[in-house]
Structure 1
């Protein structure tokens, strides 16, 4: 009797292969189901979203080599399990995902220079996600999430980028010091002009009123 029953666990679905008709389109949900011994064989798929990380070494538009890592969260389309089994078998994700991820990454990365790849990472991620989702749908796979997790350039390029950043920081610091010196010079000039004007006004006041000079002497003596 046990050979006439099969179980489908949570997060799984099943289809049947029959010796007479081949793979049947019917999809069986969670629970216990009947099967005709010898004539029918159940094929069970895990339909939960599964993460997979794929790395690809590819070239940018300006011929810089970059190692880029993509994380994909994928699951099979439940209504297309029979088609997936006929065309790809049970190890569908192993046969499809590495191939299409590498293809899409190479295609997208080749559109950007190395500096653009760093500065426009959000746009790169969006293009990878859109292209990869479209390619996966042709194989009846749904991608719930696609993200670029790592972007690593060659040591020589990384050193060049670091040197450029240091040079830019040095130039910015020098510009700041020059600007600061100019502002201090202007402040000194303004103070000198103010003191000269003050002396001029005091001189005029003394000429006009001798009592003003006496008042200033008294204030200085306090």
Structure 2
């Protein structure tokens, strides 16, 4: 009887270890999101992974999840008009990254691409609009 319990405990420990390895090898990409895979040996992969549950090599690969839904952002700018008056303008923009460009965005800009890119572009556009008025 004790041999049976020893065999069952060994089997249970083996199943628990196997389940934990399988659990670390799976990742989930929710709806409205895409993933880019970073491989420790090959770098950022060009393939963009869609929604669903996917397999990765534990400790070698890491998924970087991006939200590709349209998001709003308000940007306030103080600029001068032609008659040297200060003008306060707030622009609300909707933006989203192109899913095919996610590997380039992650490699060149990083996860905070909206914080780095949007303010400079919107400042230029708003100042051009105000000067044209």
TM-score range for the pair, normalised by the shorter chain length: 0.7 to 0.9
Cross-structure match for 2:74: 53
How far, CA to CA, are the matches of 1:111 and 1:74 in structure 2? 25
Note the residue ranges of structure 2 that are not aligned, 5 or more in a row. 1-21
How far, CA to CA, are the matches of 1:11 and 1:86 in structure 2? 21
Q: Which has the higher helix share?
A: 1
Aligned residue among 14, 18, 29 for 1:8: 29
Asked if 1:38 corresponds to 2:68, the answer is: no
Highest relative contact order (Cα 8 Å, sep 6+), 1 or 2?
2
Asked if 1:109 corresponds to 2:118, the answer is: no
Asked if 1:62 corresponds to 2:121, the answer is: no
Which secondary structure state, in structure 2, belongs to the residue aligned with residue 76 of structure 1? coil
Note the residue ranges of structure 1 that are not aligned, 5 or more in a row. 113-222
Cross-structure match for 1:214: none
Cross-structure match for 2:42: 21
How far, CA to CA, are the matches of 1:27 and 1:46 in structure 2? 12
User: Alignment length, in residue pairs?
Assistant: 112
TM-score (norm 2): 0.81
How far does the alpha carbon of each residue in 1:57-82 deviate from its partner, in whole angstroms, 9 at most, with x for none? 00112211100010000000000000
TM-score (norm 1): 0.49
Which secondary structure state, in structure 1, belongs to the residue aligned with residue 106 of structure 2? helix
Which secondary structure state, in structure 1, belongs to the residue aligned with residue 62 of structure 2? strand
Q: How large is the Cα RMSD of the aligned pairs?
A: 0.9
Q: Which has the higher strand share?
A: 2
How far does the alpha carbon of each residue in 1:118-160 deviate from its partner, in whole angstroms, 9 at most, with x for none? xxxxxxxxxxxxxxxxxxxxxxxxxxxxxxxxxxxxxxxxxxx
Which secondary structure state, in structure 2, belongs to the residue aligned with residue 63 of structure 1? coil
Cross-structure match for 1:199: none
Aligned residue among 76, 90, 94 for 2:115: 94
Shift of 1:87: 1.2
Which secondary structure state, in structure 2, belongs to the residue aligned with residue 61 of structure 1? coil
Runs of 4+ off more than 4 Å? none
